[in-house]
Structure 1
Amino acid sequence: MDYLIALAGDPAVWAALATLVVMEVVLGIDNLIFISILSNKLPEAQRARTQRLGIGLALVMRLGLLGTVALIVRLTNPLFEAFGHGFSWRDLILIGGGLFLVWKATTEIHHHITHATETDAADSRSTTLTPLSAIGQILVLDLVFSIDSIVTAVGMTEHIPIMFVAVIAAVAVMLFAAGPLSRFIDRNPTIVMLALGFLLVIGMTLIAEGFGSHVPKGYIYAAMAFSALVEGLNMLSRRAKSKRHVS
């Protein structure tokens, strides 16, 4: 208890907590986009429950991983060397997660191209995915992002309680934002392709990180924000043209 009181009275701890919360929320954007696209393939009545259950189980998994933080830090120790790079368990997990994300994004892009009409898309929704499958995929991807974010967090602070609070705060934001983001993506089909493009880039970034090529995430998120801004302007332009035609 004295340890927690001492932490609460340290301004440096509060600064570290704020930084970690922001980092966890930003890193959670990738996961949130994936969850929104995945849940939108389910019948509407099952989406919110699947999102809450998937994110809730992801929170339990993240907190469990934080309890084994010493083990996770050791995942950065090299296992073998190939192509001039020492591969660790973390590298292999990042590569596996990146390949999964690239495969999933590519599959979804193909799905949206081949099911161009709303009727075909609606018919395929109920047959290509189940709530249990969606939750499983959410947990698989969250495992990859969790290990990466925990390793980063350990480099920023040594206080486990701060990491716990940051993770809980980030997941609370995800729970709050999942529904609105999912509905927004569902109402704007062009956003789906943009979001899938984001996931494709993120997957390739994870693979590059696994092979030892560090890609500054600031550049990735800046490109994503710029692309989202351009698409937002396109949406406003289409809406204005639609209103002119109606009038």
Structure 2
Amino acid sequence: MEQLFTLDSLFTLCMLVLLQAVLGFDNLLYISLESKKAPADKQSFVRKMGVGLAIILRIVLLFVLMSLIQFFQDPFVSLHDNSVIEFEFNVHSIIVLVGGVFIIYTAIKEIWHMMLLNEHEESHKDVHKGSTKKIIFWIVIMNLVFSFDSILSAMALTSHMEYVPQLILMSIAIVMGGILMIVLADKVSNFLQKNRMYEVLGLFILFIVGIMLLSEGGHLAHLHLFGNAITPMSKTTFYFVIVVLVIVDIVQGRYQKNLLAEKKRKEALVKTKEEK
């Protein structure tokens, strides 16, 4: 236990919390967009309850992974010597792949609803009974999907420590990361609520998150299509694409404002000439 009260452990804890924050960005975006499906007066409760339950289940998942890590990594079905497809599916790869498919489906569905404005407006008004529990359920499930990468990365960062200090340190980091996520979730959701134009940007970022998870799941499953290996999208590439999307959105927004301003200016000139 003395290993917990050292400068090295404190530095490791700071790194773990930072890791939770960085890897939790895509999760935070999903929580903010998913919670909007709940009634307005319950959205904050949904976010807090979803993340709160997910923190507890993350710690449970941490115990499970620490004890049964080899079973999550060992393949249970495989196919080799095939010219079209080859794979070695394990539990970890299946969870990541299913999570990626679900997030892509969610993003496409919401983007489609936005294109059909009337249907989009009605979907916000028509909130079925029991939907709050369903939304909390999906927030918790997707939180666990996102947890795998952060927990496995945390295990790698603390691999030099003994079992008990390692477990305690990672549990503290998970709780601190969860509290940070609860605080930021409301801020992100409020920002998207006040700036509806950025909701589209958020959904496309979510779509890229799904693609990233699919590539990661394919890599974990050693998936080969027509002899070509599926390689995971690096975090550097992911954040670069996000930055490009944000810049494009900002430029397009300002360009649109300039066009509207120019249109109003021309209309004002025409009106002034007609009055003369």
Q: TM-score, normalising length from structure 1?
A: 0.87
Partner residue of 2:133?
132
2:39–2:127 CA contact under 8 A, matched in 1: no
Task: Summarize deviations over 1:66-124 as a string: whole Å, max 9, x none.
Answer: 1223245221122222333322110011111111111111111111111x25xx54432
1:63 matched to 2:59? The reply is yes
Q: TM-score, normalising length from structure 2?
A: 0.78
2:37–2:135 CA contact under 8 A, matched in 1: no
Which runs of structure 2 are paired with 1:74-223 in the superposition (5 Å)? 74=70, 75-82=72-79, 83-114=85-116, 116=117, 121-127=120-126, 130-158=131-159, 159-212=166-219, 213-223=231-241
- Change in Cα spacing, 1:144 to 1:10, as seen in structure 2 (3 Å) is same
Whole-angstrom CA distance in 2 between matches of 1:122 and 1:16: 47
Partner residue of 1:21?
17
Whole-angstrom CA distance in 2 between matches of 1:107 and 1:128: 17
Deviation at 1:141, TM superposition (A): 0.7
**Equivalent pairs, count:** 240
1:98–1:207 CA contact under 8 A, matched in 2: yes
Deviation larger for 192-201 or 61-70: 61-70
Whole-angstrom CA distance in 1 between matches of 2:124 and 2:240: 32
Flag as ranges the 4+ runs of structure 1 deviating above 6 A. Answer: 239-246
Whole-angstrom CA distance in 2 between matches of 1:61 and 1:36: 20
Whole-angstrom CA distance in 2 between matches of 1:27 and 1:242: 39
1:231 to 225, 230, 249: 249
Whole-angstrom CA distance in 2 between matches of 1:108 and 1:26: 25
In percent, how many aligned pairs have the same letter? 26
Residue type of the alignment partner of 2:246? A
Residue type of the alignment partner of 1:157? T
Whole-angstrom CA distance in 1 between matches of 2:47 and 2:121: 19
Structure 1 unpaired stretches of 5+: none
Structure 2 unpaired stretches of 5+: 80-84, 160-165, 220-230, 266-276
Task: Summarize deviations over 1:195-222 as a string: whole Å, max 9, x none.
Answer: 1111111111111111112221121022
Deviation larger for 237-246 or 196-205: 237-246
Deviation larger for 221-230 or 150-159: 221-230
Whole-angstrom CA distance in 1 between matches of 2:13 and 2:69: 20
